[in-house]
Amino acid sequence: MFERLREDIQSVFHRDPAARNAFEVLTCYPGMHAIWIHRLSSALWGMGWKWLARLVSNFGRWLTGIEIHPGAKVGRRFFIDHGMGIVIGETAEIGNDVTLYQGVTLGGTSWNKGKRHPTLEDGVVVGAGAKVLGPFTVGAGAKVGSNAVVTKAVPAGATVVGIPGRIIVKSDDEQEAKRKAMAEKLGFDAYGVSEDMPDPVARAIGQLLDHLQAVDGRLEDMCGALKDLGSPYCAKDLPELREEDFACVKGKDESQAS
Ligand SMILES: CC(C)(COP(=O)(O)OP(=O)(O)OC[C@H]1O[C@@H](n2cnc3c(N)ncnc32)[C@H](O)[C@@H]1OP(=O)(O)O)[C@@H](O)C(=O)NCCC(=O)NCCS
């Protein structure tokens, strides 16, 4: 229990530069009080004491202005900054190291029973006043801008802003993974083709790999269409690019240079 408490306090220090000492955090952070009360209400909910759980949760709401349904699942090091006006629905699921600011709603868009609230994976940050509505997943490390209204799944690492929410930054990891897959297919070492690489040749290779990937995708689609029309054309395999081919070119270049 004390371990969790220490973790909670540390998570405030990590994410709020205004926090000065542990006593201040323990006494002046309604977000932490709401989380502790939720732990109690969630335990009661799990034991089948549903009404009591709701009562405790409602008490937490009076005290902090933060409403967390006792059925909501919350991970570790959850941090709610300022807190007032937050609503977290019954079937919401929150991973580890998630941060919410004031006025956030993790709500539903239907009155159906069952999963109707979002799942926030580890490290998600939801800005002040944002509404995340529906039973979809906001991927690990994603950011939701203040006042955004998000009604569709958000990929890991992406940033979503506006109404309706639109992605402004696609996850670098996703792009990087695609490039790596393409580079491996070609027999290249993916070394040196990342976005932040200053080498212009490496960047050019990166662009070529992106383009090749797009062409590959289109070819796959065309092959699918041809197959549907009964053509055997795409049964032939493409010639493979082997690593030795590149080693050979490299060797030739080196001998020319000497
Ligand atoms: C969404 C957010 C995480 C983006 O941060 P970032 O990755 O540093 O992005 P930038 O600030 O470089 O902004 C990128 C673009 O998105 C726009 N943008 C940023 N936040 C926005 C928002 N909430 N709504 C609409 N557009 C937004 C910027 O104007 C910029 O547009 P441009 O490229 O046309 O100039 C951040 O702006 C945010 O809203 N954080 C929540 C913070 C919060 O709620 N704090 C409360 C403290 S009490």
Question: Which of 146, 149, 166 for a ligand 1 pocket mutation test, highest count of atoms within 8 Å of Cβ?
Answer: 146
Q: What is the pLDDT of residues 87-102, one digit of tens each?
A: 999 999 999 999 999 9
Ligand 1 pocket test, candidate residues 132, 159, 167, 170, most atoms within 8 A of CB:
159
Q: Are 96 and 77 in contact (CB under 8 A)?
A: yes
Q: Are residues 192 and 163 in the same domain?
A: no
pLDDT digits (tens, 9 = 90+) for 89-136: 999 999 999 999 999 999 999 888 899 999 999 999 999 999 999 999
Which of ligand 1's atoms lies nearest the C-alpha of 160?
A: 1
Element holding 237 (H helix, E strand): none
* pTM tops 0.85, yes or no: no
98 and 196 belong to one structural domain: no
User: 120 pairs with which residues across the strands?
Assistant: 94, 138
HEC sequence for 12-61: HHHHCCCCCCHHHHHHHCHHHHHHHHHHHHHHHHHCCCHHHHHHHHHHHH
Q: Do 182 and 156 reside in the same domain of the chain?
A: no
Of 110, 132, 167, the residue at which a domain comes to its end is: 167
Q: Do 128 and 213 reside in the same domain of the chain?
A: no
The CATH number of residue 125's host domain is 2.160.10.10
Q: How far apart are the first and last CA of the chain?
A: 69
Select from 152, 167, 182 the last residue of a domain: 167
Domain ranges, residue 15: 2-167
pLDDT tier at 229 (50, 70, 90 boundaries)?
Answer: confident
Residues 6+ apart with CB under 8 A from 13: 19, 25
